[in-house]
Every structure is written in structure tokens, then in C-alpha cells.
Amino acid sequence: MSGLIEFFADPGNWSGSTGIPVRIGYHLLNSLIALGLALAIAVPLGIYVGHTGRGEAVVAGMANALRALPTLGLLIVVVMLAAPLFSSSLVFTAPAILVLVLLAIPSILTGTSTGIQTADRSAVDAATGLGYTPMQVLTRVQLPCALPLMISGVRGAMLQIVSTATVAAYVSLNGLGRYIIDGRANNDFGQMAAGAALVAVVALVLELGFLLAGRLTISPGLRRSERRLKVTAGAAPAT
């Protein structure tokens, strides 16, 4: 504990290219880039699968396969294979971000497709009966109903990215993971504990941010429906 306090009390750890603010900035930048790429891939695919029902088994199998991949092994393999394709400044960063994208896709993909598939059937039928086109049903009914699960999937993906970006410091990705890797190399347990604490704080702040985003974007009616379902499930008698 004393080493942890000494690390945070040292002014030198709060300035320069290896200071805490810069490391947090790199960690967030790499995480947001990976999340943006994962969203660009997984959301359209999840919407297509959820709306049409086509390729559901393939997507589910792919998502499960990506979840089962060992993080550290995947990082090392991708860096070894992809490093020759990039210039020296991106030789570690680009492959590591690619791994973050791969690990984030399953949560977003599953949340999007499941959210659309489980949209209130009566609302979908009513919209169809009113003459809505399939695209209007998707954008005006299914996507708003799917928003809670979509946000939940993105939140899970973001936390996966933040934690994996810490491990990615093993292949020289800049960020908070450097404190853990460098601290282990120098037997500086205070630095290692500080790195772990900073990652936990960043993850907690992001979690709270997603909870706030959900409250601001999800319809109050949907939130009330979710609460009623939870209460009903909790009150159901055991069988």
C-alpha cells in the first residue's frame, strides 16, 4: 500500500510522456478507436441478422468462437503476422487494435441482433398493419426497442476493450498497461498496483457513463417495462 501511495504522490508520475494523464489518454484513444471500428462492423451486421433472421447460426457461431480466443495468444499471433504490413510507427499499435476490435465484436453483434429480434411483437405487427415499410418498422420500432440491449452490448464491448488494452501493453501498446508491464520488469510493485488501480477507475467511469447514456437515450416506457419484467421474474414461484 505504501508503494501505491508513493507512486501517486510523486509529481514526476503526473507529467511527461510517461505520466498518468498521457497514459490515460493513450489508453482511452486506443480503446475508442477499437470501439468505433467494432461498431462499424458489428452494428450493421447485427441489424441485418436481427431484421432478416438470415445467417443467425453463422453469426452466433462466429461470436462464440471469437469469445473463446485466448487474448494474449491472439495478440502475439496477430502482431507476428501483421507487423510486416505496417510501418515502424504502427508495427505494434495497428495489430493490437485489430485484436481489440475482434474481441469487441461479439458483444455488440449479439446485443444488436438479439435486441431487434426480441422487439415487442405486437408493436411490430401494429406498425406493419399501419402500412409501415420494412425499413420504417426497423428504424421506428425495432431499433428503439432494441436500444437497451444494444447499449448493454456496447458497454460490455468497451469494458472488454479497456481490460484487453491493458494486456496489450505486453506487445508494446501504449497505455495504462505499461505501468503493470514495466513495474513487473523492475519489481516495482507500487507501480504495478497503481496501473491496476487506474485501469479499474477508468473502467468504472466508463461504466457510469454508459449507465447515464442509457438513462438519457432509452425511452422511459422501455425502462419501466424492463423493471416490470425484473420484478415479475423475481416474484415468480420456484418450480
pLDDT at residue 234, as a whole number: 47
pLDDT at residue 224, as a whole number: 53
Structural domains of the chain in order of their starting residue, each with its CATH number = 2-235 (1.10.3720.10)
pTM equals 0.83
Q: How far apart are CA 173 and CA 94, in angstroms?
A: 9
What is the DSSP code (8-state) at residue 1? -
pLDDT at residue 230, as a whole number: 45
pLDDT at residue 162, as a whole number: 92
Q: How far apart are CA 155 and CA 209, in angstroms?
A: 9
pLDDT tens string 17-46:
888 999 999 999 999 999 999 999 999 999
pLDDT tens string 214-231:
788 776 665 555 554 444
Q: How far apart are CA 195 and CA 183, in angstroms?
A: 9
pLDDT at residue 72, as a whole number: 77
- The residue count for the chain: 239
pLDDT at residue 221, as a whole number: 61
Grid cell digits, residue 91:
508495427
The residues of the chain scoring below 50 in pLDDT are 228-239
pLDDT at residue 198, as a whole number: 93
State the amino acid at position 41 in one-letter form.
I
pLDDT at residue 223, as a whole number: 56
Q: How far is CA 90 from CA 24, 98, 144, 148, in A?
A: 19, 12, 39, 36
Q: How far apart are CA 49 and CA 71, in angstroms?
A: 27
Assess contact for 181 and 23: CB atoms under 8 A: no
pLDDT at residue 229, as a whole number: 42
